[in-house]
Structure 1
Amino acid sequence: MSLFNHKIKILTFTALHTGILLASAQSTIQKKTEKIAVQSGKIVPTHLNWSERMLLSEMYRFPESWMLDFSKSPKWTYPSAIVLDGAEQLYAKTGKKEYYDYISSFGDKLVTEDGTILTYELEKYNIDLLNSGNVLLYLYEKEKKEKYLKALRTLRLQIEGQPRTKEGSFWHKKIYPYQVWLDGLYMGMPFYTHYTKDFSKETDAAKAYDDIVFQFDSVQKNLLDKKTGLLYHGWDESRQEAWANKETGLSSNFWGRGMGWYGMAMVDVLDYLPQNHPGRDRLISYIKSFADAIIKVQDKENGLWYQVLDKAGEKGNYTEASASAMFVYMMVKSVNKGYLPQSYKGYAKKGYDGIIKNLITIDENGVVNLNKCCAVAGLGGKPYRDGSYEYYVNEKIRSNDAKATGPFILASIEFEKK
């Protein structure tokens, strides 16, 4: 057999296998949704709370949890974990087994019996890839499968080797040397804190907790704009990147979702940071400063936030779903936890109502769509992302991105608490 024909056979098999996976998953979800439809007349019943309506809509769109973020084959990515965080909380609240099965299937598909994580490469030191470790922490707690423990230890090893700036901040990725992005705090720190709480010995844990709080201290020192209270998307310690200011190392804009990642990181880390840790009060003070800054750039009419936060009136800018959902979640959770005064809930509610009124559409079958989501944004790379205003407002916009639907589910859960 020629090499060409051999490659064609491999490609044909791969395509066929992927097609079988997708067909099987679609069949499974159709059976589940048909049962719901018989009971309510709609695939997603409209009498449910928004949290469940959005989760069921995501389960309908992405029949297997590895499909979240529009994946065509099982891939270890970070957005799935945000939606599954909501699923965990809704399972605890409702006891609906389909929610647990949806979470469990992620671990079943992405982690092999020997603990290998599909498509994950430790040596890339990509901090994004720690986020889905949160799903494995949950599944190990529930199922105690050895494969999850092995996978978790691998992810923890990444933290040990993750390159750092001279003062100790984690690089975002090995391919982005000396760069700290706001995104990375959410991608790595809740996992790092949760793992430490569950598995680390007391002396090791104390050191880890100090390291975690330091990551936020460093961001406040290096990425905060003291005039507005907003934080720049990225900082290059080396000042070598074309997007970086040659004097400060900072990128040039305040990206909505970048700040959203940072806000969620702070409130989620506090779930696991010990009550007596001296860094808690500092993190709570950062939350207050953060909330005050985003309130100033909240649209006064619709309650939403813009893709580039401080340039509401400029051409091409738009109210963006993921940033809006993240800010709402961060504020309402902070109020519920006592980190912010009750008065801040009003700003969160205005944003939440703005999302429902302006960014959500509902299909005839009850399926909920969340629109105007920035698909992706970053700095550097190929093709080069220069961090300019024009760059951010011209990135692809799509509906039902997990980076928006996940925070919307989480925000809804917080509003639904009695």
Structure 2
Amino acid sequence: MTHEEILSMLGDYVDYLIANSSAEAPMWNIEKVRSGKPNKWNYIDGCMITACLSLYKTTGDEKYLKFSRDFIDWFVQEDGSIKTYDPKEYNLDNVNQGKNLFILYDIFGDEKYRKAIDTIRSQLLTQPRTKEGNFWHKDIYPWQVWLDGTYMAQPFYMEYETRYNKMQGCIDSYKQFMNIKKHMRDEKTGLYYHGYDESRQMYWADPVTGCSPNFWLRAMGWFMVAMVDVLERMDEQLYNEYRGIMAMFKQTIEDVHKFQDEETGMFWQVMDHPGVEGNYLETSGTALFAYAVLKGVRLGCLPKRMAAWAEKAFYGTCDKYLSKNPDGSLQLGGICLVAGLGGKDHRDGSLAYYFSEPVVCNDAKGVGPLVLAYTEMIARK
């Protein structure tokens, strides 16, 4: 396929997904579909609605805005409470969808969105923390910091503090990134481990470093996007902190690029084990890299030369995994359904574990990032 054909296909693909989805039954939330349970407020839908709102901003097409508003309005009540969401669950994943409330509030001025923003902010007020001050990933994972959590919570936190709280929590957010750099970055590769257990009690944690054993691609992807999303929301008065995160972001992109597959432009599920039996080129993390880099270049946080790396990742993913079904509908494959650490499934962070999780089509953890990268691609045209 030519690049123009790919971009045209992606527009059709998004239309197909939203035409077959609602807040009660989003076709892109494969975990929910497989569970057979009613939908709840969750980060997966949040990722897709972020992509739809980005498409609205880039194209001006009202259908993306209407879909996003209808979706979120199913959850957000007039008093600012959010159906199925409990702040006291202390799950950072549930903060992610909150970013979209700022956009809807700016566009429509409906006070229920402002109240719902406060509802989500209330979770972070009492979210348990490590002794060094980082949010626990979830209440059920004590003393643990996961890279995923930076994407889920920090952009919302930075935006809230900048807009509504005189930037009081912005330094706190910055320090959480610096702690991750201190504890979770591997000096040899420049890559970051998926998880860190301050208590060193979990079976997956290295007894000396507290880190999990491997570099999972999507966790790195979430982390790269977290940095660029936070930079976008930071006030320039925070000059030193802004420069600190920007330097960290640029260094991370440089280091990650070394692991980009030469032939396809994609990245491997476990990043530093290319070609190992069971490993595979994975869609979601590759798309997150493409999006983070394209956005970083657009915002002036990264040198322009890096855009070529992102375009290679973007088109390589589409060439490998975007295809037509016999009925003419489109599908995006190569998406790791889920990966975590600990829990009842004894997820030990080993290579065998990361290779064992299901690989699916059309899940928003891959679709959302690819559509976000697509919006950056069409903005460059």
TM-score bucket (shorter structure): over 0.9
The Cα of 1:85 is off from its aligned counterpart by: 1.6
- Larger deviation: 59-68 or 220-229? 59-68
SS at match of 2:232: coil
Separation in structure 1 between the aligned mates of residue 373 and residue 274 of structure 2, nearest angstrom: 24
Aligned to 2:323, the other structure's residue is in SS state strand
1:267 is paired with a residue of what secondary structure?
helix
Corresponding residue number in structure 2 for 1:297: 259
CA apart distance, 1:365? 5.9
- For residue 76 of structure 2, the aligned residue among 111, 114, 121 is 111
TM-score, normalised by the number of residues in structure 2: 0.92
DSSP 3-state at the match of 1:251: coil
Answer whether contact 1:65 1:105 (CA < 8 A) is retained: no
Partner AA of 2:210 in structure 1: G
- Taking a change above 3 Å as real, the CA distance of residues 372 and 47 of structure 1, as seen in their structure-2 partners, is closer
State the AA in 2 paired with 1:346: A
Q: Report Cα offsets for 1:282-324 as digits up to 9, x if no partner.
A: 1111111111111111111111001100011211000000011
Equivalent of 1:244 in 205, 217, 221:
205
User: Could you say which residue in structure 2 is the equivalent of 1:83?
Assistant: 48
| Residue matched to 2:333 | 371
Q: Does 1:69 align with 2:29?
A: yes
Aligned match of 1:36:
none
The Cα offsets for residues 262-300 of structure 1, whole Å up to 9 and x where unpaired, read as 000001111110123121111111111111111111111
Q: CA deviation at 1:87?
A: 1.5
Deviation for aligned residue 1:46: 6.5
Of 356, 361, 368, the match for 1:399 = 361
Supply the distance in 2 between the matched residues of 1:329 and 1:94 (Cα, whole angstroms).
Answer: 17
Per the TM alignment, residue 60 of structure 1 is displaced from its structure 2 partner at its CA by: 3.1
CA distance in 2, matches of 1:291, 1:46: 28
Q: Bigger radius of gyration, 1 or 2?
A: 1
Q: How far is 1:369 from its partner? A: 1.5
2:229 maps to 1:268: yes
- Does residue 219 in structure 1 map to residue 180 in structure 2? yes
Q: Please list every run of 5 or more consecutive structure 1 residues that lacks an aligned counterpart in the other structure.
A: 1-44
Distance 1:384 1:107 in 2: 34
- Paired with 1:139 and 1:152, the residues of 2 have a C-alpha distance of 11
Match of 2:12 among 53, 77, 82: 53
Residues 1:235 and 2:196 are matched in the alignment? yes
**1:59 Cα deviation after fit:** 0.8
1:15-67 C-alpha deviation (Å, 9 max, x unpaired):
xxxxxxxxxxxxxxxxxxxxxxxxxxxxxx96964553332132134244862
Counterpart check, 1:257 vs 2:214: no
Cα displacement string for residues 175-215 of structure 1 (whole angstroms, at most 9, x for unaligned residues) = 11100000000000111112223322x2xx1x311011111
Change (3 A) 1:390 1:61: farther
The change in CA–CA distance for 1:196 and 1:334 in structure 2 (over 3 A counts) is same
Whether 2:249 is the aligned partner of 1:284: answer no
Distance 1:157 1:172 in 2: 16
Contact 2:58–2:379 (8 Å) recurs in 1: no
Q: CA RMSD in A?
A: 1.8
Find the counterpart in structure 1 of residue 86 from structure 2.
121
Percent identity over the alignment is 40
What residue in structure 1 maps to residue 343 of structure 2? 381
Normalised by the length of structure 1, the TM-score is 0.85
Indicate if the aligned counterparts of 2:260 and 2:266 stay in contact, CA closer than 8 A. yes
Aligned letter for 1:221?
Answer: K
Task: Return 5+ residue gaps in structure 2 as ranges.
Answer: none
Cα shift readout 1:351-373 (whole Å, capped 9, x = no counterpart): 11211111111235653311010
Cα distance in 2 for residues equivalent to 1:94 and 1:56: 13
Letter in 1 for 2:29: D
CA distance in 2, matches of 1:111, 1:181: 28
Letter in 2 for 1:156: R
**Pairing 1:184-199 to 2, within 5 Å after superposition:** 184-199=149-164
How far apart, CA to CA, are the structure 1 residues paired with 2:171 and 2:24?
34
Deviation at 1:150, TM superposition (A): 2.1
Q: Pick which of 83-92 and 67-76 moved more.
A: 67-76
* Matched residue type, 1:173: K
Residue 390 (1) aligns with residue 370 (2):
no
Aligned length: 370
Is the CA contact 1:305–1:324 (under 8 Å) kept in the aligned structure 2? yes
Q: Distance in 2 between matches of 1:183 and 1:265?
A: 9
Equivalent residues of 1:51, 1:413 under 8 A apart: no
Residue 312 of structure 1: which of 252, 274, 280 is its match? 274
Alignment partner, residue 209 of structure 1: 170
Q: 1:144 aligns with which of 77, 96, 109?
A: 109
- Does the C-alpha gap of structure 1 residues 247 and 274 become closer, same or farther in structure 2, counting only changes over 3 Å? same
Secondary structure of the equivalent of 1:270?
helix
1:148 Cα deviation after fit: 2.0
Matches of 1:248 and 1:94, distance apart in 2: 46
